[in-house]
Structure 1
């Protein structure tokens, strides 16, 4: 079984920088988890009128309604099998902001039906976002979000553009510094920039079989639909 990211990208996965290939090979087949630790040079959000939107998302560990510079952070990528038998990888980001840490949670699965990685946001997997991954000419990884859906019980509806955010993530490896670099930008088609961050980090790989999934990483609720 290949990683969910290789399955989504196909042969393009091999065009990534070797360090990115290893990082995004984290999965049940590799048996590895990856923990990144570093510093966000900048965390920003849009104008004051987007704050209620960010605060609402933050109640379920979606987005971060705070700003800061030189903010220590951790990202935990741990593979596991969810309640529906799917290989899942956590993307749990913790930002050590003044006044207390803030988390931005996501869990990712491969969706054969949608032919992409499906990103479930937050603690309860109510928001599902299609992710489209591309290898750039310099070996970096570009991730763009597609359709957003709200899922709860029998409800499965597309999130209107007025309420949704389009995300663009660029991750690369700096050979000279020996660090991963990341830049995230989330915008709304009507309201403009909502939230983003940029920084760098190093990683450590651990044996999932030996260490398991840390308590608190898995979502409170899991959504069956992929």
Structure 2
């Protein structure tokens, strides 16, 4: 068994990643490790005023970041577990200590054999699902691009139109000089332009997941079976 990220990328592409990135994205039930990153986001930003109501709505379910800040303390918790449908799942729970109080940006990820990608369930209720394509860059960094988004609630399962959706691009690398991971996230709407993003750096600590498990507050309130 390999991590969901290695499975999605394939062995050859995964091996082109920097060794520290390979370890971070090997977090899973097979490795027996969870990873907690702690650092600082140099900048958390959002786009024009027109996007603020959209961000505020998403922020209610830990999907988007409606606030901005500089030098923002940051934590990311990547914990593998089996969800209620028996799928290996990895949490991507990001907490930003923003002015006015902390904000979370939650995701849980599974591998989708049907779509041949990592499926990113966003927020506390997994109402939004986004296809993620991962690739290794020539310098050993990781590039993640989002594809189709779907909204799922009860019997509803529809593609999110580009008019209201956003395309995400995530670049993660390891800086050997500082011993820190660097990350840059940018989400853009085709018609409105930039929606929000953040960039900064963090260090990572690894712990035996079998002795700690996944805290209940990291799991979504509702799980979606449709992949």
TM-score range, shorter chain: over 0.9
Q: Deviations over 1:58-99 (max 9, x none)?
A: 011011000000000100000000000000000000000111
Shift of 1:15: 0.3
For the aligned residue pairs, the C-alpha RMSD in angstroms reads 0.5
What residue number does 1:191 align with? 192
1:95 match: 96
Distance 1:187 1:44 in 2: 12
Equivalent residue number for residue 159 of structure 2:
158
Q: Matches of 2:210 and 2:197 in 1, distance apart?
A: 34
SS in 1 for 2:217: coil
Counterpart-to-counterpart distance in 2, 1:215 and 1:207 = 17
Matched length = 226
- Give matches, 1:56-67, under 5 Å: 56-67=57-68
Question: Whole-Å Cα distance in 2 between the matches of residues 95 and 157 of structure 1?
Answer: 31
- Match in the other structure for 2:44: 43
Instruction: Give me the whole-angstrom Cα distance separating, in 2, the residues matched to 1:21 and 1:152.
Output: 35
Partner of 2:6 in structure 1?
Answer: 6
1:42 CA drift (Å): 0.2
Distance in 2 (alpha carbons) for counterparts of 1:159 and 1:98: 31
- SS of the residue 1:216 aligns to: helix
CA deviation after TM superposition for structure 1 residue 154, in Å: 1.4
TM-superposed deviation, 1:26 = 0.1
SS in 2 for 1:20: helix
* 1:98 partner SS: coil
2:153 & 2:224 partners in 1: Cα distance? Answer: 8
How many angstroms apart in 1 are the aligned matches of 2:215 and 2:223?
17
SS at match of 1:84: coil
- Matched with 2:111 is 110
Which of structure 1's runs of 4+ aligned residues deviate more than 4 A? Answer: none
CA deviation after TM superposition for structure 1 residue 214, in Å: 1.6
Per the TM alignment, residue 144 of structure 1 is displaced from its structure 2 partner at its CA by 0.2
State the TM-score, normalized to the length of structure 2.
0.99
Residues 1:72 and 2:73 are matched in the alignment: yes
User: 1:127 & 1:113 partners in 2: Cα distance?
Assistant: 17
Q: Distance in 2 between matches of 1:68 and 1:149?
A: 30
Query: Using the alignment, how far apart are the partners of 2:110 and 2:212 within structure 1?
Result: 21
CA distance in 1, matches of 2:120, 2:220: 12
Alpha-carbon distance, 1:215 to partner? 2.7
Secondary structure of 2:218's partner? coil
